[in-house]
Amino acid sequence: MQVPRKVVEEVRREENPPPHTVIVKRVPTSYTDLQKREVVLAEAQLNMVDWVYRHEVKHLSEWPRTIGKMLYHEAKIAASLPPYLREVFKKYRREAMNIVYD
C-alpha cells in the first residue's frame, strides 16, 4: 500500500519546518511574522502549544504568502472599508489579517 503524497508532505512539513524562530509573548493570539520568520506563541495558548505550533508552521511553509501578497490584500481590504472602519483596520491589521488567512 502506498501512502498518499498529501500525508507524506504533511508529516515532512511538521517534522522539518522551514527555518524560523519561536518566541513566547503576552499577546492575545499566536501568529506568524513572515518578515522576521518567527512563530510567536501566545502565553494563554501554551496549554495547546502542539496544535498552535503546527498551525503556525503551516503559515510558514504551506501557504505561499509573501510580503507583497499580504500588502496587496491589506490594501484591497482597506480600500473597500468606509473611512471610520479603515482606522480600526489599520490599528488591528495584524490580528485581522491573521484571521483572514486562517
pLDDT, one tens digit per residue, over 52-101 is 777 777 767 666 567 787 788 888 888 998 988 888 888 888 777 777 66
C-alpha span between 13 and 62 (Å, rounded): 8
CB count within 10 Å of CB 46 equals 12
CA distance 77 to 70: 11
Give this prediction's pTM: 0.46
For residue 28 the three cell numbers come to 492575545
Instruction: Look at the block and give the residue holding cell 494563554.
Output: 44
pLDDT of residue 2: 66
Instruction: Report which secondary-structure segment, H or E, holds 54.
Output: helix 49-61
pLDDT of res. 16: 63
Statement: residue 17 has pLDDT above 60: yes
